[in-house]
Amino acid sequence: MGGLRRALHRRSRARDREAGIGEADVFIASTDGDNTNLTIAQIAAKQFSVPKVIVRVMDPARAEWYAEQGLHTICPTKYAIEMFERALEVA
């Protein structure tokens, strides 16, 4: 997976193909930056037609908006907020 991430991050189509993204069944974008994750996820989905693209987005509002646009988003911040709310209900 690291090869795919590096290749897409550098935006080199030759490296993307070399890394095998064209044959990938799934692509997971999970770097430490939302902008990078969203960019490489869209490249994987639109330019390389990867059938399943999952993207980690820390900002809940952005995660929701991109999910509405068709990306499969996972938002750890949203899950953490939900867990804190549940913990408060129990307390």
Residue 46 structure tokens: 């639109």
Q: Which contiguous run of DSSP H or E holds residue 12?
A: none
Give me the tens of pLDDT residue by residue for the chain, a chain 91 residues long: 444 544 454 555 666 665 678 889 999 999 999 999 999 999 999 999 999 999 999 999 999 999 999 999 999 999 999 999 999 998 6
Predicted local confidence at residue 22, as pLDDT: 81
pTM recorded for the entire structure: 0.76
Task: Please state, as a whole number, how many other Cβ atoms lie within 10 Å of the Cβ of residue 4.
Answer: 21
Question: What is the rounded CA–CA span in Å between residue 76 and residue 43?
Answer: 22
DSSP output for 38-87: HHHHHIIIIIS--SEEEEE-S-HHHHHHHHHTT-EEE-HHHHHHHHHHHH
